[in-house]
Each structure stands twice: as structure tokens, then as C-alpha cells.
Amino acid sequence: MPPHVTEIAADVFRISTFHPDFGIQFNQFLIADDEPFLMHTGMKKMFSTTLEGVSSILDPAKLRWIGFSHFESDECGALNEWLKSAPPAQAVCSFVGAIVMVNDFADRPARALVDNEVIQTGRHRLQFLATPHVPHCWDAGLFFETVERILLCSDLFFQPGDPRPLEETSVLGRARESIIQNLTGPMAHDMPYTAYTDATLRRLADLNPRPSPSCMVLHSKETAARKFSNWQP
């Protein structure tokens, strides 16, 4: 399972590994800057693959920030492996994530971020968005890279298979199909629709992120509102 590395915007790289057993990709996003930022550690058992991907871009020992949306193995399972490999590295996640899970699980404490807190990595600027239960989990949060206008959105708008790194058309249709398919089966109901979902999605759309790969592609807030107004799992 070799990682596929693509520069999707200036100094923003997607490290993507398709896992045939799961039939999905596991994606990490690396922002190569003065203080390199990695979004998602990948699973512990896939650490060597993720490390290979990061090493093809920069010295992994120089990693400074490790961000993730929520506490799941593919998001942060290899956190301790990264903390060992990169002495300056610190996890950054929601306050809930840090207090409830990460600070017990991880070998070094995380920096707990409040809504809208910003991490300046050099040229790039990452705005943390607390988004409880979006895409899922109480501790969920997302990062918006404000210079290239890329939303690092974790499982939101998930697509199965091995999608291309860059799409020229909206991914919303395929993401919606995937949500509907996931309403049944042993992994059912991964995407909750809560009292907060609509307002959170509208807030994300208002950021006006530019079209990007496995990240959210919302061309307008009208599109977001229309697509999700019918979504009632």
C-alpha cells in the first residue's frame, strides 16, 4: 500500500493510501511550512506508510503540529508514534478531545483549542472550528487553512473507493449517496443529523472554501443548503 502524495495547493500535500481490505482511502494532509502541520496521523498499523509519505515532503522529525478532527484510529491512532518521531510535535484538537480522550491516550498533552483559535505556521494560518457531532463525535472539530482557503474536513463528505486528489466538479452528490448507503449495515449511522448540523454546515459554507480534494467542496451556501435540506437519516 504505497502512499500517493499530491500537492493540492501551494505547500499543501495530500498523502493518500488506498486500503483494499476497507475499500477506502486514508488521507492525511501536510502543510509544509516553518512549523509543519499534519492533519490526521493515520492508523497506528499504517504508520510506516504515512511516515513514508511525510518523509517524501520534509523531515518528519521537524513536524510541529498534529491536528485531527475526532478521536478515531484513522484520525489519531498513530499519534504516539508521531510524538516519538518528532520531538517538537504537539497534538492540537478540541478542548473536549484533549480533556476527555487525548490527554490520557497520548504520551504528551495536547493543546486544547477553543472555537476560532488560530495557529500560525509561518505563511499558513489554520483556524480551528469546533463542530461537535460534525462530521461525528462530541469532540469533533475542523481546520480551515485561510491562505489557500482549504477546509480540512475529515470524514465530512466521505467518498468510498479511491477518488482522485483533485476534482473539478462537486463531490456533494457522491457524498450524499455514501451517507444514504451507510444507513444500513454493521457500520450504519455514522453521520448524525442533530440540532446543530444545519447551522454548522451553513457556517462552513460561509467560509467559502475553494474546491479541493477529499475536503469539502461547497460551491455556494445555496448548494449546501439545498443538498442537505433533504437529508433526514
Binding site residues, Fe ion, CB under 5 A? 72, 74-75, 155
Contact 182, 157 (CB under 8 A): no
Give the shortest CB-140-to-Fe ion separation in angstroms. 8
Q: What's the one-letter identity of residue 203?
A: R
Q: In the complex, which residue's CB is closest to Fe ion?
A: 72
Task: Report in angstroms how near the CB of residue 102 gets to Fe ion at its nearest.
Answer: 15
Cα–chain center distance at 92: 12
CA 173 to chain centroid, in Å, comes to: 20
Q: Which three cell numbers stand for residue 194?
A: 442533530
* CB closer to Fe ion, 72 vs 198: 72
Q: Is 190 exposed, middle or buried (0-12, 13-18, 19+ CB in 10 A)?
A: middle
Q: How far is the CB of 41 from Fe ion (least distance, A)?
A: 11
Nearest distance, CB of residue 154 and Fe ion, angstroms: 6
Give whichever of 87 and 192 is closer to Fe ion, judged by the CB atom.
192
Three-class DSSP category at 7: strand
| For Fe ion, the closer CB: 145 or 155 | 155
11 vs 74, which CB is nearer to Fe ion?
74
Shorter beta-carbon distance to Fe ion: residue 7 or 138: 138
SS3 category, 175: helix
CB of 136 to Fe ion, least distance (A): 6
Q: By C-alpha distance, which of 74, 15, 11 is closest to 43?
A: 74
